[in-house]
Amino acid sequence: LNQADTTGIRSGEVINPAEVQNDAFVQFIGTIRTPFTTRDLCPRQGALDGPDCRLEVLPEWQAALKGIEKFAMLDVLYWLHESRRDLVLQSPKNTGNTVGTFALRSPVRPNPIGLSQVRLIRVEDGAVIVKGLDCLDKTPLIDIKPNRCEYTPEAPFKAADQA
């Protein structure tokens, strides 16, 4: 799924001169349905009191939702599929202040992975309804996991966890 945008370079921005590698293999586990149909309609970061969004999980992964309802907060990872991938320096909002890609949460990055902490509203019919997303409708879903602040590992702690 490569719908990468290659337009709209701003003053001060720099493109990686090397040939950009194609995607590594990521297994999408579903699709995110949001009310945001264009990038301009997406918030820059999702709000926990924002609109309900729906994580539609593929049938073969729906059993993997078992137990998720006990967590109030989840981390959701998604593939910002319409982003360009080749900018090393970026000029957010075209202000002339140019910074490195890894100093930004911009969707424009070599691996356009978005991460949001969301509030779980309910689980229904192989889907998880959440608040807190900022992505386009039909953005591919990579992963869902309990937010680490809430999560106590099921397995016993290891010596390395005590430090």
Take residue 80 and report the two structure tokens written for it: 């910002």
Span of 67-75, 93-101, 114-122, 148-156 interacting with ligand SAM by CB under 6 A = 114-122
The label of the residue with tokens 């779980």 reads 120
Point out which span in 35-43, 56-64, 88-96, 119-127 binds ligand SAM (CB under 6 A): 35-43
Contacts of 72 (CB under 8 A, 6+ apart): 119, 120, 150
How many Cβ atoms sit within 10 Å of the Cβ of residue 136?
19
Under rule CB under 6 A, residue 141 binds ligand SAM: no
From the list 6, 16, 37, 45, which residue makes contact with ligand SAM (rule: CB under 6 A)?
45
* Contact residue for ligand SAM among 57, 128, 135, 142 (CB under 6 A): 135
Q: What single letter denotes the amino acid at residue 21?
A: Q
Q: Considering the rule CB under 6 A, would residue 101 count as an interface residue with ligand SAM?
A: no
Q: How many helices (H) and strands (E) does the chain have?
A: 0, 9
Part in contact with ligand SAM (CB under 6 A); list of ranges 13-21, 50-58, 102-110, 152-160: 102-110
